[in-house]
Structure 1
Amino acid sequence: MQSTLLEQLQADRAAKRPVVLATFLKTGEQRLLYLVGKQGLKDLDPRIGEAARAALLEDKPRTVETEHGPLFLNVFNPPLRLILVGAVHIAQALVPMARLTGYEVAVIDPRSAFGNAERFPGVALSNDWPDEAMAALKPDLRTAVVTLTHDPKVDDPALQAALKSDAFYIGALGSKKTHAARIERLTAAGFGPDDFARINGPVGLSIGAKSPAEIAISILAQMTQALRQQKSAQEA
């Protein structure tokens, strides 16, 4: 591997950017493929970009056939991340569950009475407003975003940021009536049906959950479904 390529790959991993190292097996030519901004995809068959995206989503390397011979796609994914907006009881239950399944968790809540170390020991906390916090966290293909406050002043800016990102899962707590009002506000903000289809609202699988812990289970199950079944859904 060329030293410049290696240095860039190390920098990408340090910055936690999802990247695919593509190697043409016949020639040894290598390049880094990024799924944001189409970097590295110029002059390549669009199907290579699709294969690289699928490899990132599945977190599994693969070999694809091209007109230049077999191309090996090696995946370098950052850890899974969960961004929770709202330091409420459901968040307190969901944080340890998500950590057990491999997520790095960040909790955003401008209300320091809720978002504090006493309630969330050892968790990355932000008391910034969600638009500022989300800009700093930069959700990507490996990120799930869940809003839990019921407060449009807090939830809506986070949802707008999530919808502009590549987050693989977006969930919003609230009843069907609450979600309908949310859609009206997002429509006024310039979002449309394709955006709304990305929001799981009411959040979580419909399992009759009642307690904060049960709701947390339903959310994590739906996140897992979204993460692991993305490719099959795209192919349907």
Structure 2
Amino acid sequence: MKLDILREMNRERAARRAVILITDTTDGGQRLVREAEADHDPLAPELLARFRSGKSGIVEAEGRSLFLTVQVPPPRLVVIGAVHISQALAPMARLTDLDVTIIDPRTAFATPERFPDVNLLPLWPDDALAQLPPLDRYTALAALTHDPKIDDPALVAALKVECFYVGALGSRKTHGRRVERLTAAGLTSEQISRIAAPIGLDIGAVSPAEIAVSTLAQVIAALRQDRRRAPT
């Protein structure tokens, strides 16, 4: 691999942008295609399928054998609220290889003692998200505080960039009021309909740990079923 291509791939990885390296197995020629550019590439159907699956492999095109090296960002989970559910959710999510970040401006809750070995940002969501790599289609966001001042800005940000999962804690009545606020904030009904609310799979969860299990299961289901990462 040429050094300039390797450097570019590393830059894209650091920025959490998906790319595919196309290598001609006959002459060794290589070129890099970013996900944002794939629609206009001669190999668009195959590239888009590979971005969806995240799997590398060989493809035949125009009589040539090409190896597609797929590099997609690792999935991550951003949790809004350093609450009891988050305390159970964070370690379980890490076991499934999700990169977990907890955001909560309430410093009485967002403490290292309650969240050891977790990326913890005791800031308002707008400030915290500005310090993180931008939310993207490989990010899940779970809003768990029940406080609109904390949850809503994060929900707006996640819905605008089409995070692969967006969930929010609260009853249907609570969610109804949330819909009104988000509509007033300029989101469309289609965007708002992507929120999983009440959050989590319907397994009859009662305790914080059970709600965490149901939430994580819903995140994993969305990750595996999402059109960008579903098997071809």
Q: Same fold (TM over 0.5)?
A: yes
Measure the CA separation in 1 of the matches of 2:142 and 2:6: 35
1:115 corresponds in structure 2 to 110
Q: State yes or no: 1:163 paired with 2:159.
A: yes
| Inter-partner Cα distance in structure 2 for 1:219 and 1:202 | 10
Q: Tell me the distance in 1 between the aligned counterparts of 2:98 and 2:138.
A: 9
Q: Give the distance between the partners of 1:184 and 1:23, measured in 2 at CA.
A: 50
RMSD of aligned residue pairs (Cα, Å)? 2.4
Q: Secondary structure at the match of 1:190?
A: coil
> Alpha carbons of 1:200 and 1:67: their partners in 2 closer, same or farther (altered >3 Å)?
farther
Q: Does the C-alpha gap of structure 1 residues 117 and 193 become closer, same or farther in structure 2, counting only changes over 3 Å? A: same
Match of 1:221 among 217, 220, 231: 217
Does the 8 Å contact 2:53/2:228 carry over to 1? no
- Using a 3 Å threshold, how does the CA distance of structure 1 residues 191 and 15 change in structure 2: closer, same or farther? closer
* Corresponding residue for residue 79 of structure 1: 74
Structure 2: runs of 5+ lacking an equivalent: none
CA separation of 1:81 and 1:233: change in aligned 2, threshold 3 A: closer
SS in 2 for 1:182: helix
Q: Please list the CA deviations of residues 30-72 of structure 1 after superposition, one character each: whole Å capped at 9, or x if unmatched.
A: 232332xx2465443442442232133xxx2234454474443
Q: CA, structure 1 residues 135+48, in 2 after alignment: closer, same or farther (shift >3 Å)?
A: farther
Counterpart of 1:189 in structure 2 is: 185
- CA distance in 1: counterparts of 2:206 and 2:212, whole angstroms: 10
Is the CA contact 1:55–1:62 (under 8 Å) kept in the aligned structure 2?
no
1:53 aligns with 2:48: no
Partner in structure 2 of residue 140 of structure 1: 136
SS at 2:89 equivalent:
helix
Change (3 A) 1:123 1:42: same
Give the partner amino acid of 2:77: L
Instruction: Give the secondary-structure state (helix, strand or coil) at the position aligned to 1:5.
Output: helix
Counterpart CA distance in 2 for 1:234 and 1:184 is 32
On the 8 A contact 2:146/2:170 being kept in 1, the answer is yes
2:4 counterpart residue number: 4
* Structure 1 unaligned regions, length at least 5: none
Looking at structure 1, the residues matched to 229 and 11 of structure 2 have their Cα atoms a distance apart, in angstroms, of: 32
The answer to whether the 8 Å contact 2:38/2:47 transfers is no
SS in 2 for 1:184: helix
Does the C-alpha gap of structure 1 residues 107 and 21 become closer, same or farther in structure 2, counting only changes over 3 Å?
same
**Is 2:28 the partner of 1:33?**
no
- By how many angstroms is 1:127 displaced? 1.8
Letter of the 1:126 counterpart: L
Q: How many residues align?
A: 230
2:224 and 2:230 in contact (8 A); partners too: no
Aligned-partner Cα distance in 1 for 2:120–2:230 = 34
Give 1:204 deviation, angstroms. Answer: 0.5
Do the aligned residues in 2 keep the contact of 1:147 with 1:173 (CA within 8 Å)?
A: yes
**Take 1:42 and 1:156, find their aligned partners in 2: how far apart are those partners?**
36
TM-score, scaled relative to structure 1: 0.87
In the alignment, residue 92 of structure 2 is paired with which amino acid? M
Closer/same/farther in 2, CA of residues 164 and 23 from structure 1, 3 Å limit: farther
Instruction: Name the SS for the 1:125 alignment partner.
Output: strand
